[in-house]
Amino acid sequence: MDLNAILSQGFELLKQGELERCARLCQSIPVRYRNKSGVLFLQARLLERQNQPIEARKIMERLVAASPANPQFQLSLGRVLKAEGSPDSAEDHIRQALRLEPNLAEAQYLLGRLLLSSAREEEAVVIAQQLVQGVPSFAEGWELLAAAQQRGGHLGAALDTCRKGCEQCPRHPRLRYALGQLLRENCDFELAVSAYQEAEQLGLKIPELYQNCAEALGDSGNQSKALAVISRGLALHPQNALLHRLCARLHFEAKANGDPVQKIWESALADKTNTELWQTLIELLDRLGRANDVEAALDEIPTTAEDSSPGLCILRAKHLSQSGRMDEALARFEAVLRRYPDDSNVLLSFAMALLEAGDVERAIKMCDSILSRNPYDQLALAYLGVGLRLMRDSREAWLFDYERMISVLEVPVPAGYDGRRQFYTALSETLTRMHHAKSHPLEQTVRGGTQTNGFLFRHPDPILAQLEKQLKTVIADTVSRFPEIPKHPFWRTPRAHVTPEDIRFSGAWSVRLMAQGFHTNHVHPTGWLSAVLYVALPTLVSDETGAGGCIQFGEPLRELWLDLPPKRLIRPEVGTLVLFPSYMWHGTIPFDSDESRITVAFDVLPIG
């Protein structure tokens, strides 16, 4: 028996992903050979590929104890420890492998990935540079180096690295895809699309490629081609809910012919146990206001599938509530809560229904339960405020100070412009060119208008860079004067001597409202501090009569049917910036004018 030949065959099967054949081969090895290091190593690698890291680790620990100078054993133990969630121990063994064999490319790559996952970008860059210098044909090394540079804030260097990698490895599709991602982040949408298409031609056909390629086409204003790309992706991945969601959104915003949810309907019916598809379909139907279709979709879902998904259970209960069957809705929520007592989405959705039903005290308790685990959950804070206001509880004033927490500021005009009018006219023209959609976004709060993507300040246009600089300066000065109140969800963090460099946006976008356009009342779940800058306004909004086009604070979702009017109304002016807590309810009042109302909105991440 040629054991070496068998082991060679086994490792080749692993490389090809033939795990079952490799397992049968291992079982065929005579018992007398099974304690040999080569056989144990093959078994450990097989267990690792079968997602059994604990069993793989036990074997690798035996091998390392017996042969500590074997770099492959050290590397493999490091890999399974990483998979098992022990990064520090994993790093020790990977570094030991590199001490034994300094140019071991796989160890360099794994160490770089581990460093990157622990936010040690500079160290990852050093390791990745060594890797690509030593083995320039190792495509994953270039991808690693570009990712480390990008996460370290060096997008230009990452793009250069990706381009060099593509030259060294011209047939590697993942590198082309990575280049597309970086180009899209740099707002070079047409070049990004070309990179995605090259990656697809080289054989990469993952759902994320079609998603990002379609979004890049949409960002460049080519919605018809974006829909064609999504359709191509769905032909390959008909059960991918994210692709279906994007397809429906693009279809709706482009005002394309046909039903925007037809494809997801068909896919859900073809696989009735796919809870993610059903949940996505029902959420989209609800956004479209198609209550009858929501009920029809719910009736198609097998009971076992619905019961296994808290999201579907919530949607069933919400539909009952919206249909006026509140007793049934509350009973359904009680059953869901028993099954998922610690699920924040279940608790929050139940709290909303309880507010509508009038059981305010219990709704408050549910919000408090969420906040006991996550004190800064913006949605839970928003609904807690509604409950406290209904109960006339003094905590509401502590959470929502509509005078002190809302700042109305003037943004200075950058140098090089002859006054406010010239700057904001130029800014308005730039932003208008970025609004490509023909309808309001399907899953946002805008009605009667359009919205750009959430990466406004990534665009290389100089006027946007000037605006970002001015905004950060004004916000830093304002935040520096915020009070410090420990444990307060808004005033909680010490902010003395805040600099513009401390201000980081989690998202920024532009909204263009037309006649009768408005924002429904909402909050920003992923923010801390939110803001809106007024760039262009209809003449009637600037008039001091009527409330059309004004921003209002304090009125919750209209769908809750609560008699809670706004607490503060602000009439916008061009060049005015309004800052407020992300958990504070806000919306706009419709206006009647043929002139556009153009704004820039964004969220700021907590400081410190």
Distance CA 204, CA 206 (A): 6
Binning pLDDT at 50, 70 and 90, where does residue 377 land? very high
Binning pLDDT at 50, 70 and 90, where does residue 595 land? confident
Furthest-apart CA pair in the chain: how many Å? 95
Which residue has 């804070």 as its token pair? 381
Identify the CA nearest to 434 among candidates 555, 600, 580. 600
Binning pLDDT at 50, 70 and 90, where does residue 559 land? confident
Mean per-residue pLDDT, 433-444: 78
pLDDT digits over 119-132, tens only? 999 999 999 999 99
Distance CA 4, CA 300 (A): 56
Residue 355 has pLDDT above 90, yes or no: yes
Residue 437 has pLDDT above 70, yes or no: yes
pLDDT for res 549: 83
> Residue 255: exposed, middle, or buried by beta-carbon count in 10 A (0-12, 13-18, 19+)?
exposed
Give 240-309 as a DSSP string.
Answer: -HHHHHHHHHHHHHTT-SS-TTHHHHHHHHH-TT-HHHHHHHHHHHHHTT-HHHHHHHHHHS-HHHHHT-
CA dihedral 479, 483, 484, 490 (to 10 degrees): -60
Percent of the chain with pLDDT over 90: 77
Backbone angles phi, psi at 598, to 5 degrees: -110, 130
If one compares 515 and 374, the residue with the highest pLDDT of the two is 374
Mean per-residue pLDDT, 142-149: 97
pLDDT for res 470: 97
pLDDT for res 436: 82
Residue 543 has pLDDT above 80, yes or no: no
pLDDT for res 1: 59
Count CA atoms closer than 13 A to 499's CA, side-chain side: 1
pLDDT digits over 304-322, tens only? 999 999 999 999 999 999 9
> Worst-scoring range by mean pLDDT, 292-301, 404-413, 520-529?
520-529
pLDDT digits over 380-393, tens only? 999 999 999 999 99
pLDDT digits over 34-49, tens only? 889 998 999 999 999 9
pLDDT for res 591: 78
pLDDT for res 544: 61
Give how far the C-alpha of residue 552 lies from the chain's centroid of Cα atoms, to the nearest Å. Answer: 28
Q: Tell me, what amino acid is at 407?
A: S
If one compares 355 and 2, the residue with the highest pLDDT of the two is 355
If one compares 248 and 557, the residue with the highest pLDDT of the two is 248
pLDDT digits over 248-269, tens only? 999 998 889 999 999 999 999 9
Mean per-residue pLDDT, 63-72: 95
- Residues 99/115, Cβ–Cβ less than 8 Å: no
Q: Quote the pTM value.
A: 0.88
Mean per-residue pLDDT, 90-95: 96
pLDDT for res 139: 96
Binning pLDDT at 50, 70 and 90, where does residue 448 land? confident
pLDDT for res 258: 93
DSSP 522: B
- Residues 88/63, Cβ–Cβ less than 8 Å: no
Burial 317-328 (b: 16+ CB within 10 A, else e): bbbbbbeeebee
DSSP 136: T
Mean per-residue pLDDT, 566-593: 92
Binning pLDDT at 50, 70 and 90, where does residue 446 land? low
Residue 439 has pLDDT above 80, yes or no: no
Mean per-residue pLDDT, 452-474: 92
Binning pLDDT at 50, 70 and 90, where does residue 494 land? low
Residue 112 has pLDDT above 80, yes or no: yes
Residue 303 has pLDDT above 70, yes or no: yes
497 in the Ramachandran plot: left (φ > 0), alpha (ψ -120 to 50) or beta? left
463: three-class secondary structure by DSSP: helix
Percent of the chain with pLDDT over 70: 98
> How does the average pLDDT of the chain come out, rounded?
92
pLDDT for res 545: 67
- Residues 294/285, Cβ–Cβ less than 8 Å: yes
pLDDT for res 442: 72
Rg (CA), the chain: 28
pLDDT for res 540: 67
